[in-house]
Amino acid sequence: GSETLLAHIIHMVEEAQGSKAPIQALADKISSVFVPIVLVLAFVTLGAWLVFGTQYLGFSQALSFGLVSFVGILVIACPCALGLATPTAIIVGVGKGAKEGILIKDAATLEKLHKVDTVIVDKTGTITIGKPTLVDIQNFSKQSDNELVSILASLEKKSEHPIAHAIVSYAQEKNIKTEDALNFEGIQGKGVTASIEGTVYYAGNVDLIKGLGVSFDASKIEQFTAQGKTPVVLATKEKVLGFVMVADEIKPESKQAIADLHKLGIKVVMLTGDDEKAAKHMASLVGIDDVVAHVLPADSIATSVPVPMAIPTSAWASA
Protein backbone atom coordinates (compact mmCIF):
# COMPACT_ATOMS: atom_id res chain seq x y z
CA GLY A 1 0.00 0.00 0.00
CA SER A 2 2.83 2.42 0.76
CA GLU A 3 4.07 2.10 -2.84
CA THR A 4 0.80 3.08 -4.54
CA LEU A 5 0.28 6.35 -6.38
CA LEU A 6 -2.33 7.37 -3.79
CA ALA A 7 0.17 6.81 -0.96
CA HIS A 8 2.73 8.97 -2.78
CA ILE A 9 0.14 11.72 -3.26
CA ILE A 10 -0.80 11.61 0.43
CA HIS A 11 2.88 11.74 1.42
CA MET A 12 3.43 14.71 -0.92
CA VAL A 13 0.48 16.62 0.59
CA GLU A 14 1.71 15.88 4.14
CA GLU A 15 5.20 17.13 3.26
CA ALA A 16 3.74 20.29 1.73
CA GLN A 17 1.62 20.91 4.83
CA GLY A 18 4.66 20.49 7.09
CA SER A 19 7.00 22.66 5.00
CA LYS A 20 7.81 26.27 5.85
CA ALA A 21 7.23 29.18 3.55
CA PRO A 22 9.84 31.99 3.44
CA ILE A 23 7.31 34.38 5.04
CA GLN A 24 6.89 31.92 7.91
CA ALA A 25 10.64 31.98 8.55
CA LEU A 26 10.40 35.78 8.80
CA ALA A 27 7.44 35.50 11.19
CA ASP A 28 9.37 33.01 13.34
CA LYS A 29 12.38 35.33 13.42
CA ILE A 30 10.22 38.27 14.54
CA SER A 31 8.51 36.08 17.15
CA SER A 32 11.87 34.90 18.54
CA VAL A 33 12.72 38.53 19.38
CA PHE A 34 9.26 39.86 20.17
CA VAL A 35 8.12 37.10 22.57
CA PRO A 36 11.04 37.52 25.05
CA ILE A 37 10.49 41.31 25.03
CA VAL A 38 6.77 40.82 25.84
CA LEU A 39 7.62 38.37 28.65
CA VAL A 40 10.13 40.81 30.14
CA LEU A 41 7.60 43.67 29.97
CA ALA A 42 4.94 41.45 31.62
CA PHE A 43 7.25 40.52 34.53
CA VAL A 44 8.47 44.12 34.89
CA THR A 45 4.83 45.29 35.12
CA LEU A 46 4.01 42.63 37.72
CA GLY A 47 7.12 43.59 39.69
CA ALA A 48 6.25 47.30 39.51
CA TRP A 49 2.75 46.64 40.91
CA LEU A 50 4.18 44.57 43.77
CA VAL A 51 6.92 47.08 44.61
CA PHE A 52 5.06 50.36 44.21
CA GLY A 53 1.42 49.25 44.53
CA THR A 54 1.93 47.54 47.88
CA GLN A 55 2.89 50.90 49.45
CA TYR A 56 -0.48 52.43 48.60
CA LEU A 57 -2.96 49.55 48.12
CA GLY A 58 -1.60 46.74 50.23
CA PHE A 59 -0.03 43.51 49.02
CA SER A 60 -3.20 41.56 48.10
CA GLN A 61 -4.71 44.44 46.09
CA ALA A 62 -1.39 45.19 44.39
CA LEU A 63 -0.94 41.47 43.56
CA SER A 64 -4.45 41.36 42.09
CA PHE A 65 -3.85 44.37 39.82
CA GLY A 66 -0.36 43.10 39.03
CA LEU A 67 -1.62 39.69 37.86
CA VAL A 68 -4.36 41.29 35.75
CA SER A 69 -1.77 43.55 34.08
CA PHE A 70 0.67 40.62 33.69
CA VAL A 71 -1.92 38.43 31.94
CA GLY A 72 -3.28 41.39 29.94
CA ILE A 73 0.15 42.11 28.43
CA LEU A 74 0.70 38.44 27.56
CA VAL A 75 -2.74 38.06 25.94
CA ILE A 76 -2.71 41.34 24.01
CA ALA A 77 0.95 41.82 23.12
CA CYS A 78 2.23 38.26 22.65
CA PRO A 79 2.32 37.62 18.86
CA CYS A 80 0.62 34.21 18.87
CA ALA A 81 -1.19 34.93 15.61
CA LEU A 82 2.09 35.91 13.96
CA GLY A 83 3.51 32.43 14.48
CA LEU A 84 0.27 30.49 13.96
CA ALA A 85 -1.42 32.25 11.05
CA THR A 86 1.09 31.26 8.36
CA PRO A 87 1.31 27.50 9.10
CA THR A 88 -2.47 27.36 9.57
CA ALA A 89 -3.00 29.05 6.20
CA ILE A 90 -0.57 26.61 4.55
CA ILE A 91 -2.26 23.54 6.04
CA VAL A 92 -5.71 24.77 5.02
CA GLY A 93 -4.57 25.91 1.56
CA VAL A 94 -2.72 22.69 0.69
CA GLY A 95 -5.57 20.57 2.11
CA LYS A 96 -8.26 22.39 0.12
CA GLY A 97 -6.08 22.18 -3.00
CA ALA A 98 -5.75 18.41 -2.57
CA LYS A 99 -9.54 18.08 -2.26
CA GLU A 100 -9.87 19.91 -5.60
CA GLY A 101 -7.34 17.59 -7.24
CA ILE A 102 -4.50 20.14 -7.15
CA LEU A 103 -1.17 19.02 -5.68
CA ILE A 104 1.06 21.79 -4.35
CA LYS A 105 4.73 20.91 -4.04
CA ASP A 106 5.55 22.84 -0.88
CA ALA A 107 4.82 26.00 1.11
CA ALA A 108 7.42 28.04 -0.80
CA THR A 109 5.62 27.21 -4.06
CA LEU A 110 2.28 28.20 -2.55
CA GLU A 111 3.75 31.56 -1.53
CA LYS A 112 5.20 32.19 -5.00
CA LEU A 113 1.92 31.34 -6.71
CA HIS A 114 0.55 34.91 -6.56
CA LYS A 115 3.57 36.11 -8.60
CA VAL A 116 2.92 33.69 -11.48
CA ASP A 117 2.30 35.41 -14.83
CA THR A 118 2.33 32.30 -17.05
CA VAL A 119 0.69 28.92 -16.53
CA ILE A 120 1.72 25.89 -18.59
CA VAL A 121 -0.86 23.13 -19.03
CA ASP A 122 -0.99 19.74 -20.71
CA LYS A 123 -3.74 19.12 -23.27
CA THR A 124 -4.94 15.54 -22.87
CA GLY A 125 -6.80 15.07 -19.62
CA THR A 126 -6.34 18.70 -18.55
CA ILE A 127 -7.97 20.84 -21.26
CA THR A 128 -9.72 17.83 -22.78
CA ILE A 129 -11.67 15.02 -21.11
CA GLY A 130 -8.83 12.60 -21.84
CA LYS A 131 -10.98 9.99 -23.57
CA PRO A 132 -10.33 10.38 -27.31
CA THR A 133 -12.44 8.52 -29.86
CA LEU A 134 -11.63 7.32 -33.37
CA VAL A 135 -13.65 9.45 -35.82
CA ASP A 136 -12.12 8.96 -39.32
CA ILE A 137 -10.32 6.22 -41.28
CA GLN A 138 -8.29 6.93 -44.43
CA ASN A 139 -7.07 3.74 -46.12
CA PHE A 140 -4.35 3.76 -48.81
CA SER A 141 -3.71 0.01 -48.82
CA LYS A 142 -5.35 -2.95 -50.52
CA GLN A 143 -6.61 -4.13 -47.15
CA SER A 144 -10.07 -3.37 -45.81
CA ASP A 145 -10.70 -0.66 -43.21
CA ASN A 146 -11.33 -3.32 -40.58
CA GLU A 147 -8.00 -5.00 -41.37
CA LEU A 148 -6.26 -1.64 -41.09
CA VAL A 149 -7.87 -0.99 -37.71
CA SER A 150 -7.01 -4.54 -36.63
CA ILE A 151 -3.30 -3.91 -37.25
CA LEU A 152 -3.44 -0.55 -35.49
CA ALA A 153 -5.31 -1.97 -32.48
CA SER A 154 -2.87 -4.89 -32.30
CA LEU A 155 0.01 -2.39 -32.12
CA GLU A 156 -1.66 -0.01 -29.71
CA LYS A 157 -3.15 -2.48 -27.21
CA LYS A 158 0.16 -2.58 -25.32
CA SER A 159 0.39 1.21 -25.15
CA GLU A 160 -0.90 3.29 -22.21
CA HIS A 161 -1.54 6.44 -24.27
CA PRO A 162 -5.16 7.72 -24.35
CA ILE A 163 -5.06 7.79 -28.18
CA ALA A 164 -4.04 4.11 -28.17
CA HIS A 165 -7.01 3.35 -25.91
CA ALA A 166 -9.31 5.12 -28.39
CA ILE A 167 -8.16 2.86 -31.24
CA VAL A 168 -8.42 -0.33 -29.15
CA SER A 169 -11.87 0.68 -27.86
CA TYR A 170 -13.05 1.28 -31.45
CA ALA A 171 -11.85 -2.19 -32.47
CA GLN A 172 -13.65 -3.75 -29.51
CA GLU A 173 -16.89 -1.88 -30.27
CA LYS A 174 -16.78 -3.07 -33.91
CA ASN A 175 -15.78 -6.63 -32.87
CA ILE A 176 -12.58 -6.34 -34.90
CA LYS A 177 -10.14 -9.12 -34.05
CA THR A 178 -6.61 -8.19 -32.98
CA GLU A 179 -3.39 -10.16 -33.40
CA ASP A 180 -0.42 -10.73 -31.11
CA ALA A 181 2.23 -8.03 -31.57
CA LEU A 182 5.82 -9.17 -31.04
CA ASN A 183 8.87 -7.04 -30.20
CA PHE A 184 6.66 -4.15 -29.12
CA GLU A 185 8.51 -0.89 -28.56
CA GLY A 186 7.26 2.54 -27.61
CA ILE A 187 8.97 5.41 -29.44
CA GLN A 188 8.86 8.32 -26.99
CA GLY A 189 6.61 11.14 -28.12
CA LYS A 190 6.18 9.66 -31.60
CA GLY A 191 4.40 6.32 -31.55
CA VAL A 192 4.95 2.56 -31.38
CA THR A 193 6.38 -0.28 -33.44
CA ALA A 194 5.90 -4.04 -33.35
CA SER A 195 5.94 -7.11 -35.54
CA ILE A 196 2.67 -8.77 -36.60
CA GLU A 197 2.81 -12.05 -38.55
CA GLY A 198 6.38 -11.33 -39.64
CA THR A 199 5.79 -7.73 -40.79
CA VAL A 200 7.16 -4.77 -38.85
CA TYR A 201 4.59 -2.00 -38.53
CA TYR A 202 4.88 1.56 -37.24
CA ALA A 203 2.02 3.62 -35.82
CA GLY A 204 2.34 7.20 -34.67
CA ASN A 205 2.49 10.83 -35.66
CA VAL A 206 3.86 12.42 -38.83
CA ASP A 207 7.29 12.92 -37.23
CA LEU A 208 7.61 9.16 -36.81
CA ILE A 209 6.88 8.58 -40.50
CA LYS A 210 9.33 11.30 -41.54
CA GLY A 211 11.97 9.66 -39.37
CA LEU A 212 11.46 6.38 -41.25
CA GLY A 213 12.15 8.15 -44.53
CA VAL A 214 8.87 6.90 -46.02
CA SER A 215 7.38 9.21 -48.64
CA PHE A 216 4.06 10.62 -47.48
CA ASP A 217 1.99 13.60 -48.50
CA ALA A 218 1.25 15.22 -45.15
CA SER A 219 -1.20 17.62 -46.83
CA LYS A 220 -3.71 14.74 -46.89
CA ILE A 221 -4.26 15.08 -43.18
CA GLU A 222 -4.26 18.89 -42.97
CA GLN A 223 -8.02 19.19 -43.49
CA PHE A 224 -8.53 16.89 -40.51
CA THR A 225 -5.98 18.51 -38.20
CA ALA A 226 -7.53 21.90 -38.94
CA GLN A 227 -10.66 20.53 -37.24
CA GLY A 228 -8.73 19.67 -34.10
CA LYS A 229 -8.32 15.97 -34.88
CA THR A 230 -5.10 14.11 -34.18
CA PRO A 231 -3.70 11.71 -36.82
CA VAL A 232 -2.26 8.25 -36.15
CA VAL A 233 -0.42 7.05 -39.25
CA LEU A 234 0.15 3.34 -39.95
CA ALA A 235 3.15 2.39 -42.05
CA THR A 236 5.72 -0.26 -42.81
CA LYS A 237 9.34 0.53 -43.64
CA GLU A 238 8.35 0.79 -47.30
CA LYS A 239 5.04 2.67 -47.43
CA VAL A 240 2.17 4.34 -45.58
CA LEU A 241 -0.88 2.09 -45.34
CA GLY A 242 -3.27 4.72 -44.08
CA PHE A 243 -4.17 6.82 -41.09
CA VAL A 244 -6.96 7.28 -38.58
CA MET A 245 -8.08 10.49 -36.93
CA VAL A 246 -8.73 10.70 -33.23
CA ALA A 247 -10.61 13.52 -31.49
CA ASP A 248 -10.92 14.37 -27.82
CA GLU A 249 -13.75 16.47 -26.37
CA ILE A 250 -12.94 19.65 -24.46
CA LYS A 251 -13.91 19.67 -20.79
CA PRO A 252 -16.98 21.88 -20.23
CA GLU A 253 -15.15 23.90 -17.55
CA SER A 254 -11.91 24.47 -19.52
CA LYS A 255 -13.03 27.63 -21.33
CA GLN A 256 -14.21 29.28 -18.10
CA ALA A 257 -11.00 28.27 -16.30
CA ILE A 258 -8.86 29.90 -19.02
CA ALA A 259 -11.07 33.02 -18.92
CA ASP A 260 -10.64 33.22 -15.13
CA LEU A 261 -6.85 32.98 -15.49
CA HIS A 262 -6.91 35.76 -18.09
CA LYS A 263 -8.86 37.96 -15.67
CA LEU A 264 -5.98 37.50 -13.23
CA GLY A 265 -3.57 38.69 -15.94
CA ILE A 266 -2.08 35.21 -16.41
CA LYS A 267 -0.95 33.94 -19.81
CA VAL A 268 -1.81 30.31 -20.59
CA VAL A 269 0.47 28.08 -22.68
CA MET A 270 -0.53 24.55 -23.75
CA LEU A 271 2.04 21.81 -24.30
CA THR A 272 1.16 18.72 -26.30
CA GLY A 273 2.79 15.93 -28.26
CA ASP A 274 -0.02 16.14 -30.83
CA ASP A 275 -0.08 17.72 -34.28
CA GLU A 276 0.43 21.51 -34.28
CA LYS A 277 -2.66 22.42 -36.32
CA ALA A 278 -4.90 20.17 -34.22
CA ALA A 279 -3.45 21.65 -31.04
CA LYS A 280 -3.91 25.24 -32.26
CA HIS A 281 -7.51 24.53 -33.22
CA MET A 282 -8.17 23.10 -29.76
CA ALA A 283 -6.44 26.07 -28.12
CA SER A 284 -8.51 28.56 -30.12
CA LEU A 285 -11.73 26.96 -28.86
CA VAL A 286 -10.87 27.61 -25.21
CA GLY A 287 -8.88 30.85 -25.61
CA ILE A 288 -5.36 29.60 -24.85
CA ASP A 289 -2.67 32.17 -25.71
CA ASP A 290 0.13 30.00 -27.04
CA VAL A 291 0.72 26.40 -28.10
CA VAL A 292 3.87 24.27 -28.21
CA ALA A 293 3.20 21.08 -30.21
CA HIS A 294 5.24 17.91 -30.87
CA VAL A 295 6.63 18.11 -27.34
CA LEU A 296 8.32 15.00 -25.96
CA PRO A 297 7.63 14.09 -22.29
CA ALA A 298 11.20 15.00 -21.27
CA ASP A 299 10.90 18.39 -22.98
CA SER A 300 7.56 18.98 -21.26
CA ILE A 301 9.09 18.42 -17.83
CA ALA A 302 12.08 20.66 -18.57
CA THR A 303 9.82 23.45 -19.80
CA SER A 304 7.42 23.21 -16.87
CA VAL A 305 9.94 23.28 -14.03
CA PRO A 306 10.37 27.09 -13.71
CA VAL A 307 6.63 27.63 -13.30
CA PRO A 308 5.64 27.22 -9.61
CA MET A 309 2.23 25.93 -10.55
CA ALA A 310 0.27 23.10 -9.02
CA ILE A 311 -0.34 20.05 -11.19
CA PRO A 312 -3.83 18.60 -11.48
CA THR A 313 -4.00 14.91 -10.63
CA SER A 314 -5.51 14.19 -14.02
CA ALA A 315 -2.16 15.19 -15.50
CA TRP A 316 -0.08 13.38 -12.88
CA ALA A 317 1.65 11.04 -15.34
CA SER A 318 2.78 13.84 -17.63
CA ALA A 319 3.71 16.02 -14.66
pLDDT digits (tens, 9 = 90+) for 177-196: 888 888 888 887 788 899 98
The C-alpha angle 290, 190, 223, rounded to 5 degrees, equals: 60
pLDDT digits (tens, 9 = 90+) for 41-62: 999 999 999 888 888 888 888 8
- Return the C-alpha torsion angle 119, 125, 127, 128, nearest 10: 170
Mean pLDDT of 287-309: 65
| pLDDT(90) > 60 | yes
pLDDT at 312: 41
Q: Which residue has the higher pLDDT, 292 or 216?
A: 292
Rounded distance between C-alpha atoms, residue 197 and residue 181, angstroms: 8
Cα–chain-centroid distance for residue 189? Answer: 18
Rounded distance between C-alpha atoms, residue 215 and residue 230, angstroms: 20
* Residue 6 φ/ψ, nearest 5 degrees: -60, -45
Q: Residues 28, 106, 122, 145: which is the catalytic one?
A: 122
Contacts of 170 (CB under 8 A, 6+ apart): 133, 134, 149, 153, 176
Q: Is the dihedral of CA 146, 150, 156, 157 positive or negative?
A: positive
Q: How far apart are the first and last CA of the chain?
A: 22
pLDDT at 71: 92
Q: What is the mean pLDDT of the chain?
A: 81
Which helix or strand (DSSP H or E) is residue 153 part of?
Answer: helix 145-156
pLDDT at 309: 40
Query: At 319, is the pLDDT very low, low, confident or very high (cuts 50, 70, 90)?
Result: very low
Strand pairing partners for 138? 243
| pLDDT(165) > 90 | no
| pLDDT(205) > 60 | yes
| pLDDT(136) > 50 | yes
pLDDT digits (tens, 9 = 90+) for 21-40: 677 777 778 778 888 888 99
The yes-or-no answer on residue 122 being catalytic is yes
Q: Which residue has the higher pLDDT, 148 or 300?
A: 148
Tell me 293's DSSP state: -
Contacts of 234 (CB under 8 A, 6+ apart): 148, 151, 152, 155, 201, 202, 203, 240, 241, 242, 243, 244
Rounded distance between C-alpha atoms, residue 22 and residue 109, angstroms: 10
Q: Is the dihedral of CA 234, 179, 317, 302 positive or negative?
A: negative
Residue 4, CB half-sphere, CA atoms under 13 Å: how many?
4
